[in-house]
Amino acid sequence: MSIIEVKRLNKIYKNNKGKETHALSNINISIKPSEFISIIGPSGCGKSTLLQIVAGLEEKTSGELNWNSEEGEIGYVFQDATLLPWKNVWDNAKFPLEMRKKDTIENLEKLERLLDFSGLADFKHAFPKELSGGMKQRVSIVRALSYDPDILLMDEPFGALDAMTRDKMNLELLRVWQETNKTVLFITHSISEAVFLSDRVIIMSPRPGRIQKVLDINLPRPRHIELKDTSLFIEYVKELRGLLQYE
């Protein structure tokens, strides 16, 4: 049973002179509950556009997008943490609950637990300017999870981080994902990151973005950084790199 079905989806942009840009062409994806799926491809291939269509932030031109879930709520994590600078960690994290009028005692207790296992319990009263880049992104992830969405959409959230912090955030994200059992659709430009995180990797072609291949990643879970040194991990990275060598 899939949580999301995308069928024959197309996206065409038209400027004020009537010129068309075909961003996405014949996209077909079936996403199962609790899957971790990464999307990888060259800049401008429509990865972010696809994520925004799934999120309802962008209209498709044609095709189908079907949710097999009653609620269909989405948590969206952007490349930049986009925290409100005048609010502390706690107030930023609970902001979606307040907006949805879901800031009940039960939900606030759940939020406390999310902050705790994300290592942010001691920073509840800190403001964004007092946090590192990795900590800001952790707040952003907790905020997206606060209202218990069905699916977490992440648009290259760790792209601006240094390699060491990025590794830490990959491990943190996997821990949160395993704890919450969410479905994750994750955009990245990093081949290694896609292999390390995912159950499946969707490889997209240059614009108009098409799905070139879907690669199953059969690596054991839970995953640790040492996994990147194994021959099987390296083989997956080589295969993905080969698929991304466009003419």
Query: Using CA atoms, how far apart are residues 148 and 135, in angstroms rounded to an integer?
Result: 20
Output the pTM of the full model.
0.87
Work out the burial of residue 50: count CB atoms within 10 Å of its CB; fewer than 13 is exposed, 13-18 middle, 19 or more buried: buried
**pLDDT tens digits, 192-244:** 999 999 999 999 999 899 999 999 999 999 999 999 999 999 999 999 999 98
Domains and their CATH numbers in the chain: 4-72+150-243 (3.40.50.300), 83-148 (no CATH)
Query: Using CA atoms, how far apart are residues 225 and 60, in angstroms rounded to an integer?
Result: 38
Query: Using CA atoms, how far apart are residues 157 and 166, in angstroms rounded to an integer?
Result: 10
DSSP 148-183: --SEEEEESTTTTS-HHHHHHHHHHHHHHHHHHT-E
**pLDDT tens digits, 142-180:** 898 888 888 999 999 888 788 888 888 899 889 888 888
- Cα-to-chain-centroid distance, residue 219: 20
Query: Using CA atoms, how far apart are residues 244 and 68, in angstroms rounded to an integer?
Result: 32
Query: Using CA atoms, how far apart are residues 238 and 118, in angstroms rounded to an integer?
Result: 32
